[in-house]
Structure 1
Amino acid sequence: MQVRTSLAALASNSSVQILRNLVVAKPSDRACDIFINHRGADTKGNISGLLYERLSKMISLHTFLDKKSMDPGDKMLSEIDAAIRNCKVAVAVFSPNYCKSYYCLHELALIMESKKRLVPIFWNIQPSGLMVKNIKKYDPNELHRFRWALEEARSTVGLTFDSTKGDWSELLSKATEAVLRNLHEVEEEKKRGKEEEAITSSPFGSV
């Protein structure tokens, strides 16, 4: 089933082409496509919330944003960890207070350990500013894990945005475009993997 959307509302022609190539099931029938890792106090009311609404409604993709994607009675940590492990692409919205949160750092580390495609958004912070805060409250293993994840994020090309002078519409369009492109690449890699597996398992092997 192809994604249902209004093509006129999409950010660009390249977004249209990517969506045409994406074949997905209904959100209720599959794992989430996109996981948004963020510090709620900083960005849920702006970029994280806006991106979630755009991806969930305009493009009809299954996007996970903590409490917005859970029901009363759900176990928060287990639901979040499962969503990360089962997603196709992760978006990390880094903000000034991001690195003060154990949960943000844990989610980022799990994203990296699960080898998920990452789209970083540096919101009012530069990549060089990503450093673990309050290091004394973490044990050595956690500290190493969090520092490694942040280093991986710093070395990943992302979007940098200053909310005092940046263009919000342009940011949302670029973020949407990046997510769609990565989703398409993940689907293509999965398709190639299945084709290679089929050739390997064939009694005739590769020709």
Structure 2
Amino acid sequence: MAAATTRKAAASTVDVFLSHRGVDTKSTVAGLLYDRLAQMGVRPFLDSRSMEPGDKIYERVDAGIRQSRVGVAIFSPRYCDSVFCLHELAMMVEAGKKLIPIFYDVKPAELAIGAAVSSAAESPEDLARYARAIREAKLTVGLTFDSKKGDWSDLVSRTSNVVLKCLKQAKV
């Protein structure tokens, strides 16, 4: 019982939150970045690797964002079509997290709330939150990546190095 409690307590500490659209990036950049950061001693949060059966999705995701010091938003072509992704982005921006955008097969100017989100959002206030968060991300220097021509190892290395630098600055 004590080992399970210790494991759960250790798992609840997060350095960096990885926000991504699973169908676009979970088996590529999100998974590779999670692995690299973990190998470097950083505690990343990635939904598929950080949550367990029985966890409440919004509770665990929201806790991961609150605990983190850095947020990485992996903007893929369908990222803004997800209420979950935009909720994560809005939380990171509202909490003042250091945001590192990765523009994966998308240009910052192309980011906009998707039609599915517009009809699924719970309130006009949520849509306004999402729009503010997208605006903030567009105005933040990020990393760009073309999945057909880009070097995956270079993207993961560059992103990991930026995350480490941000974490070191946050400790000062």
Structure 2 length as normaliser, TM-score?
0.90
What's the CA shift string for 1:146-199, capped at 9, x where partnerless?
A: 0000000010110000011111111111101110111011111xxxxxxxxxxx
- Among all aligned residue pairs of Structure 1 and Structure 2, give the percentage whose two residues are the same amino acid: 46
RMSD: 1.4
Give the distance between the partners of 2:113 and 2:61, measured in 1 at CA. Answer: 21
Tell me what 1:11 maps to: none
Q: Secondary structure at the match of 2:170?
A: helix
Name which of 138, 159, 167 aligns with 2:151. Answer: 167
Give the distance between the partners of 1:81 and 1:171, measured in 2 at CA. Answer: 26
Name which of 83, 86, 93 aligns with 1:112. Answer: 93
Q: Which runs of 5+ in 1 are unaligned?
A: 1-26, 189-207
Tell me what 2:5 maps to: none
Tell me what 2:27 maps to: 45
Give the distance between the partners of 1:117 and 1:126, measured in 2 at CA. Answer: 20
Tell me what 1:154 maps to: 138
Give the distance between the partners of 1:29 and 1:99, measured in 2 at CA. Answer: 28
Higher-RCO chain (CA-CA 8 Å, sequence separation at least 6): 2
Structure 1 segments (4+ residues) deviating >3 Å = none
Return the letter of the residue paired with 1:184: K
Q: Secondary structure at the match of 2:60?
A: helix
Q: Which has the larger radius of gyration?
A: 1
Return the letter of the residue paired with 1:68: R
What's the CA shift string for 1:1-32, capped at 9, x where partnerless?
A: xxxxxxxxxxxxxxxxxxxxxxxxxx818620
Tell me what 1:92 maps to: 73
Give the alignment of 1:62-101 within 5 angstroms. 62-101=43-82
Give the distance between the partners of 2:138 and 2:41, measured in 1 at CA. Answer: 30
What's the CA shift string for 1:49-83, capped at 9, x where partnerless?
A: 10001111x21221100121012211111010011
Distance of aligned partners of 1:161 and 1:31 in 2 relative to their CA distance in 1, 3 Å threshold: same
Tell me what 1:133 maps to: 114
Aligned-pair distance for 1:41?
A: 0.4
What's the CA shift string for 1:97-154, capped at 9, x where partnerless?
A: 0000000000000000100011110000000011001124333211111000000001
Give the distance between the partners of 1:91 and 1:184, measured in 2 at CA. Answer: 16
Aligned residues: 161
Tell me what 1:179 maps to: 163
Tell me what 1:103 maps to: 84
Structure 1 length as normaliser, TM-score?
0.75
